[in-house]
Structures are given as structure tokens and as C-alpha cells.
Amino acid sequence: MNLLNKFRDPKLCQNLLSQIKEELEDEFRFMEVCGTHTVAIFQSGIRSLLPQGMVHLSGPGCPVCVTHDREIAAYLALCEKDLLVATFGDLIKVPGPGGRSLKTAQAEGARIKVVYSALDALNIALENPGQRVVFLGVGFETTAPTVAAVIKMAGKQGIKNFSVLSFHKLVPPALAALAADRQISVDGLLLPGHVSAIIGIKPYLFLAEEYGLPAVIAGFEPLDILQAILVMIRQKHESRARVENNYRRVVADQGNLRAMEVMDDVFERCDALWRGLGTIPGSGLAISSKYEEFDASKVYGQELPLVEEIPGCKCGDVLKGLIQPDKCPLFDTRCTPARPVGPCMVSTEGSCAAYHRYVL
Amino acid sequence: MSERITLDYGSGGRASQRLVKELFVRHLGNPGLNRLDDAALITGLEGPLSMSTDTFTVDPIFFPGGDIGSLAVHGTVNDVAMLGAIPRFMSCAFILEEGLDMGDLNRIAASMAGAARDAGVSIVTGDTKVVPRGAVDKIFINTTGIGSVIANPSPSGSSASPGDLILVSGSIGDHGLAILSHRQGIAFETDILSDSQALNHLTVKLIKEAGPIHVLRDPTRGGLATTLNEIAQQSGVELLIEQEVIPVRKEVEGGCSFLGLDPLYLANEGKFICILPEKSARKALEIMRSDPAGLGAAVIGQVREGRKGRVILRTPLGGHRLLDMLEGEQLPRIC
């Protein structure tokens, strides 16, 4: 705790803020791509302290927010089968087609259980051998290895009533899609600390090499974030884009080899649908054929239903950093945390929800 | 195997009678309850009166620092006390699930008796129903409390005025985290105890010694942030809160950051918010800190004109942000 307190030290943070103010020339637009960064920036008050000209954008970094309508529709379709559906809490309020969510399905009688990990879901399956349990697998590289490990464990123990509907997504392919999109203007990227702890620095190097984008892996304490912002500004001034690891107390440059190995064993790359960004090649993780008995999409023949987009919702533009949340016509009118229309308003780490909750 | 509650105990017949006499009256007995009439005869209560009711459903029913029985007493006693009253009498109604362990019910009744004794209230009337397995989760308890108001005027959520200081009686979020960390399915342990306790002795002392108190509220469900928002709305004022001085235990902070929760939204069952004129704040703080129920008390902010109904949090870095009301449940996050 003492160590963490140092990374929150108000004096050190204020020093960094004045350096940022001093060194900032005209405008600098930075994007974070991690829900935890989104919340940390709002919650710590950093956002209200950034000098004019510093523009903070929240990219596609909240796993719930990037979950596509069609994926939600698949979850809802699963709920209609005779199954126990285990899910992370964030997902249950996300409205899908027609405004229906797992929460409404639950009220209508679907058996849905909120769990903290895939292991909890596996334990439910173990304790209830007569029930078929499906875990809704969402999340980035941070979450995927633990889900993979649980699938391997289920395989070793020969468990027959457990499977996973995997809509896991990978961060670097999404960053590549953003960097290649000419509509999007970003001067620097704050790279996600948790994801990087798994994948290391290498998968990001193309950002600097191919697109000339400064990018810094950062932790989640105020000092981590402010320091990373300063590093990005300096890189821009020196016209020398680099990918830097500023979170060495957690992130090893090579990543977590063991976690990647487990992930690669259980999953294989596939194209994935991202809300707002569409299909991004090689950005998803499907359960490999070796473990197909645990793949709910195969076990229950659950495909992605075709759905109509939610009219008016600008979550896509928000996720690409094209508009700030309050510029969406639905923001705080038809779309509020009480009655969210789009997923960015649902998750506590969603950019619209954070904006609604924290901005004065 | 220990005895279990069957549907017979809620029949109104002999089994019900036995349960009332041998369990409830044995633990909770007092001259009022012992009469076993259809209603309790209450004498000696002078108006104005404060009355409150609450229903308790908590999982797990035994948690570190308390249980559903003591909680059902503390919760209602505290609500009655927040109007500037001395809580005196309570009713309690049980809805029991068929199959409930009799030993557990005994422990709960004994715990209620202890809590009532400490708070100085008598449980004078009650009711028991037994419902089939699955219709409730083990045991639900409703309690209603009544007491004489000694504050004049009585504190109210709508009485905060610009310039007043905002005090909180101790560390925030203990109860919520203690419950969450012991709920099934969360494999994570802490030494955090629920703060469930009666606050009436301390609030009465404050009313008698610290001068007029504008607001007394206990931030239970929804936590400190939600209650502050309610006060800001009811009083039509803006509250400015200093995050750095809000008392939060290190373990609670750690547990919250692990689970993705915010301690300011976690339930408390033994803390209160006190808003009063700046000139009496020092005295109030002294009184609170010299009482076991208020050892960790702190001044956390001030009431101002500003925008009506808004609560602003000044973060340790010096930034300002909205401290919003909790929308629904706080949910565990993905990563």
C-alpha cells in the first residue's frame, strides 16, 4: 500500500502537471484504450486538471463497450436454452436488440449467475453435475489466459457440463485498425497496463514504426498516467515516435510467456466484430478444435444472429475518439446510466458512463 | 442433525406457540412482549415521535462483525435516532424459510436481544411466518422502531444550509466490503468486520451537547456518496467534499481496488453523517471522537450555494469531479 501511495502523491503529481503545462505546445490529443485508465483519469481528477489543449479520448478499451449487438444477441439466444449462464457482472445490463439484456432475460426466468472468474463458473458446473453451464467469455488479453487455463482444467478433469462462448478480443489488431483509419486523429496512445503485462511490448512496436505514433505502456495510478502523458508530449516534440514501457514494476518487455502459451494452446485467432469498428481481421479468439467440446458455439450451435443497429447510438464514434460522449444526441436524454441505450453507458468503465458520472 | 424449521411452526397452532414462547420470548422477553396480547401496550411515550421500518435480507446471514439479527436491530434503531430521537420500542416480524436451522434461529434471536439491550430498546411485539423452501432466502426480518424526538427542530435531510460543515462518524465501506468478501463465489478474504452498531447513544449526546444539528443521516445502502446526493437534493444545496479526509480503512481500499468497487458507494451500518453550523463543528467532532461509535470521525466537507443537488468531490490531486449517485448495484468488473 505504501508503494501505491507514492504513485498518488499529490506533490509529485502537481510537479508533473506543471511540466506538462510548460512543455505542451498548442494541442495534443491522446487516447487511452483501457477502461481502467478511463476511470482512473476521471476519478482521480486528472481530467479536470489537464491544461487546455490536452485532449483526452477514450478508445475501444472497455471489453463490454466493444461487445457487438450480434454478440449480445447470441448471449440472449443462449439464455433461451435449458442452461445456466455464468457471466461477469458488467455484461448483464448491456442492452442488445430491442433493448433486451441479460438482466431482462433473468427477470423472465433465464438462469443467469454473476461470477468473478471463469473458475467460479467451472466450480458451479462441478457442484451441479446435472446442469449445463456456459460461461460468457469476453475481455481482452488480460482475461483470456485465465479462461484458457480454466478450459484446460475442465479438459483434464473430464468435465462434460461446462463450456465457454468466447468473444474474447485482442488489443493490438484494434489499435492497428484505429491507426490506419484516416478519420481518426490522435497524437499519442496510452497503452493498457494489464493487457501489456500479458503480451509485453513487442505487439505494439508497429505503432511507432509504421504510423509514427508515440505510445506508452502505463500503470493506473495518477503518477503513472501523468508521466506517460509527459513522455508522449516529449516524443512528439522530438518528432521521434517510440513505444515505451513505463510500467516496469508490472510489465516485463517480453510479457508473460506462460500466460501466452496457455492462451495460444486453447484459442486460435479469428476475425471479430467490434462495436463501432466493425469486423477486424485476426482480432478475436475462438476456442481451437483441440478443445471444441468446451466451445459453446459448437456444443449448442450458437451462431451470431443478424440484428439491426441501435438507431441514434453513437457509441462507435465515441470509441473511435471522433466525438466526446456528450456530443451523442442520445447522451443524457434517451441514454442514461439508468436506461442505457449503448454499452458505453452501461459498463462502469465505459466512456459515456464515466463522462456522465464524473464530469461537472 | 439439529432441528429445522418446518411449515408447522408458522401454522398458528401449538408449534407456533412453542416457537414464540421457547425461542423468541426466552431471548427477547420483556414486560411488554411477555403479555403475548394481539398488540403491544405502549405507555409513557411523549410526542413528537420518530418511527421507522426496515426489512433485512442479507447473505450471508452471519457475517464478520454481526448477523442479520443484530443488523435488524441496529438498522432500525439508527433510522429512528437520525430524527434526533431516543429509540424506545420495536416490533419484529420474521419470515422463515422451511428448513432453516433452529440453532441458527436461536443465535439470531439471542443476537437481537443483545443488540436491543445495548441500544436501550424493548422488542414489544412480533410475528412469525414460515414459507416453503425457496420462497425466501433462509430468513427475512422486518423491524419497526419508535422513539421520542428530543431535538428541536428535528434534524432533516432538507435542513443543510450553506456554510454548514459535513462530518462523518468513522471509516466508510466496512460493512459492504465485509459482506461482499464473505459472500459465496468471491474467493477473497479480509479481516474487515462489519461496522454494524447502534448509534443512538452518540447521536443523543450530540444533540444535547453540540447545539442544533441540521442533518443526521446514516449512509446505509448506496453508501456515503448516495446519501450525500440525497441530502444535496433535499436541501437544494451543493456539497463540496474533500476526498483526502474521508476515512477509509486501508483494507477496504485494497479490497475495493481488487474488486473494482468504490468504497464511497458501499453500505455502512454503523456510521452517520452529521451536518451542522461551522461554529459547533469542533465541539461535535470532540464529542464524536470521544465515543466508541465515533472514534474515526472527521470533517469531510462543506455545504455551499452552488448548483442545487450537486455533490462535488475534490480529489487528493486537487482536481474536481462529480460525486454521483449510485445507479443500481455495483457490479464486479471484467478486468
Q: Any idea which of B176-180, B214-218, B320-324 has the lowest mean pLDDT?
A: B176-180
- Please judge whether A49 and B318 are an interchain contact, meaning their C-beta atoms are less than 8 angstroms apart: yes
Residues in chain A: 360
pLDDT at B1: 53
What is the distance in angstroms between the Cα of B308 and the nearest Cα belonging to chain A? 13
pLDDT at B149: 97
Q: Which domains does chain A have, with CATH numbers?
A: 62-313 (3.40.50.11740)
Contacts of B330 in chain A (CB under 8 A): 348
H-state helical runs in B145-196: 174-181
What is the distance in angstroms between the Cα of B318 and the nearest Cα belonging to chain A? 7
Is residue B187 scored above 60 in pLDDT? no
- Please judge whether B319 and A35 are an interchain contact, meaning their C-beta atoms are less than 8 angstroms apart: no
* The CATH number of domain B165-322, selected from 3.30.390.50, 3.40.190.80, 3.90.650.10, 3.90.1150.10: 3.90.650.10
Contacts of B316 in chain A (CB under 8 A): 8, 10, 44-45
Largest CA distance in chain B: 66
- Please judge whether B331 and A143 are an interchain contact, meaning their C-beta atoms are less than 8 angstroms apart: no
Blockwise average pLDDT, block size 10, chain A, 360 residues: 75 96 94 93 95 93 89 95 92 87 94 93 96 96 97 97 97 95 93 97 97 96 97 94 97 97 98 92 97 97 88 87 93 90 85 93
Contacts of A138 in chain B (CB under 8 A): 334
% helix / strand / coil in chain B, to the nearest 5? 35, 25, 40
Buried b or exposed e, range A224-239, using 16+ CB within 10 angstroms: bbbbbbbbbbebbeee
Look up the pTM and report it: 0.86
What is the distance in angstroms between the Cα of B332 and the nearest Cα belonging to chain A? 5
Percent of chain B with pLDDT over 70: 95
Closest CB to B317 among A13, A138, A349: A13
What is the distance in angstroms between the Cα of B151 and the nearest Cα belonging to chain A? 36
Closest CB to B322 among A14, A115, A357: A357
Average pLDDT of span B300-308: 97
Asked if A133 and A86 touch (Cβ cutoff 8 Å), the reply is yes
- Please judge whether A359 and B321 are an interchain contact, meaning their C-beta atoms are less than 8 angstroms apart: yes
Residue range B235-287, pLDDT digits in tens: 999 999 999 999 999 999 888 877 778 899 999 999 999 999 999 999 999 99
Name the residue in chain B with its Cα closest to that of A136.
B334
- Please judge whether B186 and A116 are an interchain contact, meaning their C-beta atoms are less than 8 angstroms apart: yes
Bridge partners (DSSP) of residue A58 are A32
Is residue B304 scored above 60 in pLDDT? yes
Buried b or exposed e, range A58-82, using 16+ CB within 10 angstroms: bbbbbbbbbbbbbbbbbbbbbbeee
What is the distance in angstroms between the Cα of A357 and the nearest Cα belonging to chain B? 6
Asked if A259 and A145 touch (Cβ cutoff 8 Å), the reply is yes
Distance CA A139, CA A166 (A): 9
Name the residue in chain A with its Cα closest to that of B320.
A45
Cell numbers found for residue B328: 443500481
pLDDT at A1: 46
Q: Pseudo-torsion of CA A95, A98, A101, A102, nearest 10°?
A: -150
- Please judge whether A44 and B315 are an interchain contact, meaning their C-beta atoms are less than 8 angstroms apart: yes
pLDDT at B95: 97
pLDDT at B41: 93
Residue range B68-115, pLDDT digits in tens: 999 999 999 999 999 999 999 999 999 999 999 999 999 999 999 999
Say which amino acid occupies A215.
A
Name the residue in chain A with its Cα closest to that of B329.
A89
Indicate which of A14, A21, A44, A199 best probes the interface with B, i.e. most B CBs within 10 Å of its own CB.
Answer: A44
Name the residue in chain A with its Cα closest to that of B306.
A360
- Whether the predicted interface score ipTM is above 0.90: no
The CATH code of domain B7-149 reads: 3.30.1330.10
Domain ranges of chain B: 7-149, 165-322
Closest CB to B321 among A10, A35, A45: A45
Q: How far is CA B105 from CA B17, B37, B109, B286, in A?
A: 15, 23, 6, 40
Residue range B25-52, pLDDT digits in tens: 999 999 989 988 999 999 889 889 999 9
Indicate which of B312, B321, B330 best probes the interface with A, i.e. most A CBs within 10 Å of its own CB.
Answer: B321
- Please judge whether A48 and B320 are an interchain contact, meaning their C-beta atoms are less than 8 angstroms apart: yes
% helix / strand / coil in chain A, to the nearest 5? 45, 20, 40
What is the distance in angstroms between the Cα of B114 and the nearest Cα belonging to chain A? 36
